[in-house]
Structure formats: structure tokens, C-alpha cells
Chains A and B, each alone.
Chain A
Amino acid sequence: MRNVLTIMKRELMAYFLSPIAYIVTLLFLIVMGVVFSYVVDIINAVPHGVSIVQFLFTMLIFTIAFFLPLITMRLIAEEKGSGTLEVLMTTPVTDLQVVLGKYFATLLFYVFMWLPTVSYVIILHKFSGETAPLDVGPLWSGYLGVFLVGMLLVAMGLMFSAMTKTQVIAGIPVFAIGFGLFLLLLFFEGIVADSTVLQYFSPVRHIQHEFARGWIDLRRVVLYISATLWCLYLTKKIIEARKWK
């Protein structure tokens, strides 16, 4: 446990000491800021069909899927490339401790990345007054959804980062899978007659139609947690794989 904390602390420090984290967070917040101003415009216009909260969270998760690979790709690939993984793995720490330390640090950074968007909701709440009262419940569940989806994407990012020495190669599959999962429903809903199976795997749908409407489906929670654990387990196995050669 102590080793996990030690590794986690170093990883967090590495994030905040490198420019990439600040650049990613800045760009992310700029995009979200534009989205938010658009939301404000919608509210000012005539009453709209789409729920504001649903729209906000859909945009949030889209933007996250775009930026997240940039923060996960370096995790293990960088250490493999520079050779520091050898120094790390020859100290008395287990492979699992390394995986967990890096995972929790990135998860924490992920939360840090979107936490400022909570201020949008507060602003909306404060200035919208009686005209467009906001329901607090869907906000909580929406952020829970964002957290759960991010949990899985970070684990995937870590897994792909363990597979290669090159950061870009580690980033691309996460990017592809992230977007693939998001677009799955949009592309195939019209083609496949029965799209219920696809709906199980589409984070966009989970966020848009469930979490952002205040609906926490336990099946989704179980899906994200179990898929995350599976990715972490595979990451540990991939790091171990150096011993199988």
C-alpha cells in the first residue's frame, strides 16, 4: 500500500512538472468553455427540446475521449523507452503496485482535469434563477457517469502504454477505441435492426440517456468497474511478459 502511494505521488508530480498536463488541461477547458457559452445561448433562446444537462455531459465526455490519450500515453511507454522501468522493477515493489500507483495517479489527474467544469453548473444555477431551474440529481449522476467512463479509459490507456516504448503508438489505440465506442451507436443504429446490444457498449448513450438524466443503472456501473479491473489485470500481465521471453 505504501509503495502504491509512493509511486502515485511521483506520477502526480511528474504530471504537474511536465508542460503536457497543463497544455492538455488548458485546451480541454477552452473547448468546454466554448461549449458552455453555447449552452448559455441555447438557454437564452426559445425553450429547447434537448435537456441542457444532457447536452453538457455529452460534450464533456466527447472532449474527454479526445484529450485523455494525451495524458495516459506516457505512463509506462516513457519508462520503457528511457529505461527507468528497469530501475523501478528492480526495487522491492511488485508489478501490481506499479500498475495501481500509476493508475490511481492518472485517475486523480483525470478528475482534476474536469473538476473546473463543475463551476459552469454553479454559474448556471446562480444566474438562471427561476427561468430554468436546474435539477441537482442528474448533475451528480452525470458526473458519476463521467467518472466511470474515465475510469475505464484511463485503465485502457495504461494497458496500451505498457505494450510499447513509443508514446504515440500507445496513444493511438486509446484514441481509436475511445472514439469507436462513442461512435458505435451513431454509425450502426440505423443499419442494425436491433441495436440493444450496441447500446450496452456505447458510453455516449449511457451518459446521454441514462446518467445525465439522473438514472444510475447498476448494469452500467458493473460493466465499467469490471472492464476497468480486466484492463488493469492485463496491464500487470503485460509488464510481467518481459519474464516470459
Chain B
Amino acid sequence: MILVEHLVKRYPGVTAVNDISFHVQRGDIVGFLGPNGAGKTTTMRILTGYIPATSGSAVIAGFDVRENSLEVRRRIGYLPENNPLYPEMRVAEYLKFRARLKGVRGRRLRERSNRVMEQCGLTEVSRKLIAHLSKGFRQRVGIADSLIHDPELIILDEPTIGLDPNQIQQVRHLIKSLKKSHTVLLSTHILPEVEMACDRVIILNRGRIICADKVVNLTRRSFVRAEIRGPREEIEKSLRELPEVRQVALSTDGDFWECEVDAGGADVREKIFGLAAQRRWTLRELSHERLSMEDIFIKAVTTDAEE
């Protein structure tokens, strides 16, 4: 659905997007993550044809975003960051105006606008002025607009920013319901959101992709945590000698050594317990923990910064 190759966007003095390549398959929900200024919005703007790339190519549904911009725009629904709307228009009026611009006319226009208003919970406010709507409703109007022409690809730039937890959950459900029939690319700062809604995640930092994988692969990664009292070298050496163990990190808070054992997802708690019993170490805590999206994100960004 999306094929991006060696995309670069330079502004005078800044490289906003630095040689990124990725692809998104039809029907996938892909999360775009990254700290502020990582290049997420720039990449999305290039994909929607609002600004051109300095070099590289982006193809959406078989059309090059630069050569066939109008064809691409017919196939995407886009919700920009901070969701700009015309405050003087009424909700239904606005959606109909947008639908006409996107080539939806006649009976289909009425059908589609009723359908998206229902889908986004806007039916009750359809006659209200956009200026009088709460932030949550405005956000829904923006999302409804991106859906109105039933596009193949939906690009949402921070769709849940500024919403309360309840509204965030509603938006998340809405995005999930789009799966199968649409491909979704969304950027966000809220990491649990990615875990819950997305199939794949692309982490950007300073204009480059530093991590791109399926969410299940990323969160399957887990580690075992143990707090042990005993001689440091001995603990480290014997933990490393366990067959599944890839990496051991030790830190201390006084008496005890806090050990983070990366065993490639395997549960080595029993083995560590066995070791402790055999060597007569004191064991205070032993747990198997999953990496959260937050851990993955922070780890990826800080490793990138160190490099």
C-alpha cells in the first residue's frame, strides 16, 4: 500500500527526514513513533502530497506521490496535527463540503456523510457549529472527514492529542474498527495506544528509522529480574553461563545486585533459583517481565542518541 524508498527532506540547515525506507501492507495499522521533531509530520506531509521530498520516492496504491498527486490524494484520508477546521460551518455542512471536494456526490454523498457521522458518534451534533463543539467532538469531525470518501489509506497525525482518557479510548476503538477495510498510518506519543491498536510500529529519531517491527515481536521480548546478594563476579559469570542467556546487566542498591537477564524471551527463573540455592546466595526477588512499548521506545531512542 505504501512503499517509501530513500526518502529525504532537507530544509535550509536541517535534514528533517534522512534517507528513510519502509513499506506498509494493505490492511495494516502502523504506528509512527518518535520524539518531537523526529520527522513524523514531515513524512506524513510528503505522503499526502502537501510538500515534496528533496529526494527518494514514495508510492501509494501504485501511484507516485509526486507524479500522480491527485490520484494519491483521492485514495487517502488525512487528519493533520492539531486538526484545523472551519469554525463557522455546521458539522454536517462541513462534512458534505469535504465530501464534494473529494469527489463524493449525489446519493452517495448523503449515504457516506450519514455513515461516518454514525461511525464517529456525530449524529447528535450534526447541526451544531464546529466553533461550539468540545475538543473531543472536533477531533471526531476531523476523523470523520478523513473517512468520508472511504479511502484506501488513512493517515492520522496524533489523532488522540488533547483528548481525555475516555475519548482516547473511543478513538482507539474507532481506529481498530477500520482494520481490514482500510490501511492506517498513525503517529502518536501515547505508547500504550500503539500496543493496543497497531500491528506494526516504526520508530523515528532525528529523521531516521531506528526501529521497525511487528508490535508482537517487539513486546514478546522479555527479561528476568533478580535481586541477589553475593560476590559480583561470581553472580555475573554464572548467570552468563546459563544456556539461553544473551545478556546480563548488573546494578546495585547497596547490599543486593539487581540483575536484568535477557534470555531471548525464555523464562529462566527456575534456573536462577537453582543457582542461588547451590551457591548459597541470598535471593530477594525474582520476576519475569515483559518489555512495554515505553521501554522499547526509550531504549531505542537513547541507544540512538548514544551512537
Enumerate chain B residues within 8 angstroms of A7, measured Cβ to Cβ: 101
Enumerate chain B residues within 8 angstroms of A84, measured Cβ to Cβ: 84-86
Q: Provide the bound-state CA to CA distance between A180 and B76, in Å.
A: 46
CB nearest to A18 among chain B residues: B88
- In the complex, are the beta carbons of B73 and A14 less than 8 A apart? no
Scoring A17, A18, A83, A86 by chain B CB atoms within 10 A of each residue's CB, the highest score goes to A86
- In the complex, are the beta carbons of A90 and B48 less than 8 A apart? yes
- In the complex, are the beta carbons of B97 and A6 less than 8 A apart? yes
- In the complex, are the beta carbons of A92 and B80 less than 8 A apart? no
- In the complex, are the beta carbons of B82 and A83 less than 8 A apart? yes
CB nearest to A242 among chain B residues: B51
* Residues of B within 8 A of A (CB-CB), count: 29
Min CB distance A17 to B, Å, is: 4
Q: Provide the bound-state CA to CA distance between A243 and B49, in Å.
A: 9
Question: Which single member of A86, A91, A245 contacts B73 (CB below 8 Å)?
Answer: A91
Enumerate chain B residues within 8 angstroms of A10, measured Cβ to Cβ: 86, 89, 97
The reply on B98 being an interface residue by CB < 8 A is: yes
- In the complex, are the beta carbons of A14 and B101 less than 8 A apart? no
Enumerate chain B residues within 8 angstroms of A18, measured Cβ to Cβ: 88
Question: Which single member of B71, B74, B78, B80 contacts A83 (CB below 8 Å)?
Answer: B80
Min CB distance B132 to A, Å, is: 13
Scoring A7, A9, A13, A90 by chain B CB atoms within 10 A of each residue's CB, the highest score goes to A90
Known contacts being A83-B82, A83-B84, A86-B80, is A91 close to B98, with CB within 8 Å?
Answer: yes
Enumerate chain B residues within 8 angstroms of A92, measured Cβ to Cβ: 70-71, 73-74, 101-103
Q: Provide the bound-state CA to CA distance between A26 and B98, in Å.
A: 32
Min CB distance B164 to A, Å, is: 23
- In the complex, are the beta carbons of B86 and A6 less than 8 A apart? no
Enumerate chain B residues within 8 angstroms of A91, measured Cβ to Cβ: 73, 98, 101-102
Enumerate chain A residues within 8 angstroms of B100, measured Cβ to Cβ: 2-3, 6
- In the complex, are the beta carbons of B50 and A89 less than 8 A apart? yes
Enumerate chain A residues within 8 angstroms of B73, measured Cβ to Cβ: 90-92
Enumerate chain A residues within 8 angstroms of B45, measured Cβ to Cβ: 86
Those of A70-89 within 8 Å (CB) of chain B = 82-84, 86-89
Those of B59-89 within 8 Å (CB) of chain A = 70-71, 73-74, 76, 78, 80, 82, 84-86, 88-89
Known contacts being A3-B101, A243-B51, A245-B11, is A90 close to B78, with CB within 8 Å?
Answer: yes
Min CB distance B44 to A, Å, is: 10
Binary B-proximity of A48-77 (CB < 8 A = 1, otherwise 0): 000000000000000000000000000000
Q: A7-B101, A92-B73, A243-B51 are in contact. List 16 more A-B contacts (CB 8 A).
A: A6-B100, A10-B89, A13-B88, A17-B88, A18-B88, A83-B80, A83-B82, A84-B85, A84-B86, A88-B101, A90-B49, A90-B78, A90-B80, A91-B102, A92-B102, A242-B50
Q: List 18 A-B contacts (CB under 8 A).
A: A3-B101, A10-B97, A13-B88, A17-B89, A82-B84, A83-B84, A84-B85, A86-B50, A87-B80, A90-B48, A90-B49, A90-B78, A90-B80, A92-B101, A92-B103, A94-B70, A243-B52, A245-B51
B-binding residues in A (CB < 8 A): 2-3, 6-7, 9-10, 13-14, 17-18, 82-84, 86-94, 242-243, 245
